[in-house]
Amino acid sequence: MSIPAHGYPETMATSLLRTLSSLPADVLRAVPDLATIPRLLEELRDELRATRESLDATRAVAERVEARAIELDGHAVDAIAVMREGLVELDGGRRDLTRMEALTRESMGEIDQGRELLADINGHLPAVAEAAEGLARVEDKIGLIDRS
């Protein structure tokens, strides 16, 4: 099959067109429908060329869409990885928070024990003060006894 100057392979339609073009004019006039065949074949060839160009343009768009989809897929994979890292960090933060809550409860218990101890000490302070006064009086008396 030969390839003519227009770049498309020789087809049956091209061959038929060439054959019809070479028919004598009186034969073409005798069969009026034969005269329209070359024009119809040329229109068909133009339609096929336009369809091929449209398909080429569609293919180019599809390739760009595919490239963009691959790029977006890569971004989605990256985003999922970042989200997973965030979830791991969040889980670690939750565990830290749980430990801090336990330490806070423990500290609050120790603070409550300290308050109870302080209240107990405060309850004994009047007796301690009274004992200190008594001790001071005894010291005064002893001091008086020593001086006499």
Number of domains in the chain: 1
CB atoms within 10 A of CB 20: 15
6, part of any domain: no
pLDDT in the model for residue 1: 45
Q: DSSP letters of 84-126?
A: HHHHHHHHHHHHHHHHHHHHHHHHHHHHHHHHHHHHHHHHHHH
Per the structure, the complete domain to which residue 126 belongs is given by: 12-147
Per-residue pLDDT tens digits of the chain, which is 148 residues long: 455 555 555 566 567 666 666 766 666 666 667 667 778 888 999 999 999 999 999 999 999 999 999 999 999 999 999 999 999 999 999 999 999 999 999 999 999 999 999 999 999 999 999 999 999 888 888 876 654 5
64, part of any domain: yes
52, part of any domain: yes
